[in-house]
Amino acid sequence: MKQSLRFRIGFPLLVLIIIIPMIFPFLWMFMSAFKTQVDIISWPPKFLFSPTMVNFNKVFNEQNFLLYLKNSMIVGVGSVAISLLLGLPAAYSIARFHQKRLSVMILIARLMPGISFLMPWYIVFSRLGLMDSYTALILSHILIALPVVVWIMSSYFESVPLEMEESAMVDGATMQRAFVSIILPLSVPGIVTATTLSFIFSWNNFMFSQVLSMEKTRTLPIAVYNFMSYAEVDWGGVMAAAVAIMTPAIILTMVFQKYVVKGLTMGAVKG
């Protein structure tokens, strides 16, 4: 098909109008992370400057950033792993036995404001001496990851044809056996989607760690926020911290782009 000249010029222009506002904040953050404080507060804002590593040095050497990075990893991996363990069989059962009520319950977990469980947890975890523990944080983050896993996997399992289990069961395998050795391997794309998304959501979560963690188990979002609350904002340091926290999620998205798009858009398109 031949495209008109107007389209050939107009379309790329439209695309640019969409892209530039999307990407500019990232660009500015990235540039500022390599600027000295003097360059950052200069007026007019500088686009050209000589880059410095001062900010990253400060973030990784003076601040306890590596500890917070480790904490975020432990909490993210721990909560996603347990959510898969709990969520995969539940999602399978919802898909195969059409357990409507169960899936509504998971939906309600999505609707609830997080503070409505945080407040009771705060009371219980303080009494049990579990404040500032990985246990408390992982338990709370499972409530972020589990609905994502069940939501994505139940519709994924629905798309796997029933004959797969049936033929295995004719051969004498039990249903749970068929689930583990036939259905799960077939569902790897869905599992990748659920894992990536729920990990990113846990990674980005601010509120739960804000209440349940202190110095020992503090996760990255809190560390980044704390950077801000000093008397005079060290903009370069904050921007370096922001770059550091966003990079892993962005890399994950780059690697699993197709899955992330699918996970974010499913549910809605089907509805």
Partner 1 sequence: MIKSGFFERNLKYLFPLPALLFVLLLMVFPVLYTLFVSFTEWTLTSGRPMKFVALDSYLKIMREPRFLDAVGRTFSFTVGAVVAEAVLGTTIALVLNREFKGKNALKFILLLPLVATPVAVGIVFNLFYDPTIGFLNYVLSVLGLPQSGWVTASSTVLPSLMLVDIWQWTPMIALIVLAGLAGLSNEPYESAKVDGASGAQTFFHVTLPMIMPTILTAIILRAVDALKTYDIIYAMTGGGPGYSSETLNILAYKYSFEYFNLGQASSILVFLFFLVLLFSLGVMKIRKKFEL
User: If you ran DSSP here, which 8-state letter would residue 181 be given?
Assistant: I
Q: Which residue has the tokens 């990674």?
A: 203
Q: Please, what is the minimum distance in Å from the beta carbon of residue 224 to partner 1?
A: 5
Asked if residues 209 and 221 have their Cβ atoms less than 8 Å apart, the reply is yes
d(CA 26, CA 160): 39
Provide the token pair at 31: 């540039």
Is the CB of 67 or the CB of 173 nearer to partner 1? 173
User: If you ran DSSP here, which 8-state letter would residue 35 be given?
Assistant: S
Q: Please, what is the minimum distance in Å from the beta carbon of residue 99 to partner 1?
A: 7
Cis peptide upstream of residue 44 (ω within 30 degrees of 0): yes
Is the CB of 205 or the CB of 217 nearer to partner 1? 205
Q: Please, what is the minimum distance in Å from the beta carbon of residue 188 to partner 1?
A: 19
Is the CB of 81 or the CB of 169 nearer to partner 1? 169
Q: Please, what is the minimum distance in Å from the beta carbon of residue 5 to partner 1?
A: 16
Q: Please, what is the minimum distance in Å from the beta carbon of residue 89 to partner 1?
A: 4
Q: Please, what is the minimum distance in Å from the beta carbon of residue 241 to partner 1?
A: 8
d(CA 48, CA 35): 10
d(CA 186, CA 94): 17
Is the CB of 77 or the CB of 175 nearer to partner 1? 175
- Spatial CB neighbours of 67, under 8 Å, sequence gap ≥ 6: 218
3-state secondary structure of 49: coil
